[in-house]
Amino acid sequence: MILQKKKEKEDAGNDSDDTLATTARGRRKGEVEEPTFKPQINVRSKNIKRDEDVVDHLTVDAERRATRREKEIEKKANKDAQESRMNMVKPCSKDSKNIVYQAFEREYLEVLESFELDEESLVSEITAVEIMVKLGFISQSSEADLEHAGEIWRNLHPEENENAENENE
């Protein structure tokens, strides 16, 4: 008896499934059945007139959304890349700083020796630029780098620039 009631409940729940299955089978056999769903459209929506085809409107809208989504993804990627670069700077110990400083000082002194200069020598603008090239700070093939290096030297030695200008007059 309990099994019979259970079966009746299951059969009652499956009526809609059977109807769907029957409808699907009927469509496959070529039988045309009237649609049962009829959306209710309010009067205001019925009266809307579009200047463009609905398909065109939806296509343009989809393209606009896709473009916006791509820009948001690109913006997020740029933000993530910038945060990643910022996180790459790691504090270093005093010993590490000393090791880097000593390596740079050794390389700098070697370059000075190649120009037959010592630490007390006055360096011209041209020599300063050549030293920066040898140390790998700038590229000799880059006109902009060379100009910037000369500008840096002139800013660091304004008194020498005045002397040179006075000598030229």
- Digit-by-digit pLDDT tens for the chain (169 residues) are 565 555 565 555 554 455 555 555 555 555 666 778 888 888 888 888 878 888 888 899 999 999 999 999 999 998 888 887 777 766 778 888 889 889 888 888 888 888 888 777 777 778 888 888 888 888 877 888 888 888 887 887 766 655 544 444 4
6-23 residues labelled b (16+ CB within 10 A) or e (exposed): eeeeeeeeeeeeeeeeee
pLDDT at 98: 87
Q: What is the pLDDT of residues 5-21, one digit of tens each?
A: 555 655 555 544 555 55
pLDDT at 135: 86
- Structure letter (DSSP) for residue 51: S
pTM over 0.75? The answer is: no
- Does the CA dihedral 42-48-53-59 come out positive or negative? negative
pLDDT at 168: 43
> Is residue 128 within 8 Å of residue 149, measured between CB atoms?
yes
pLDDT at 151: 86
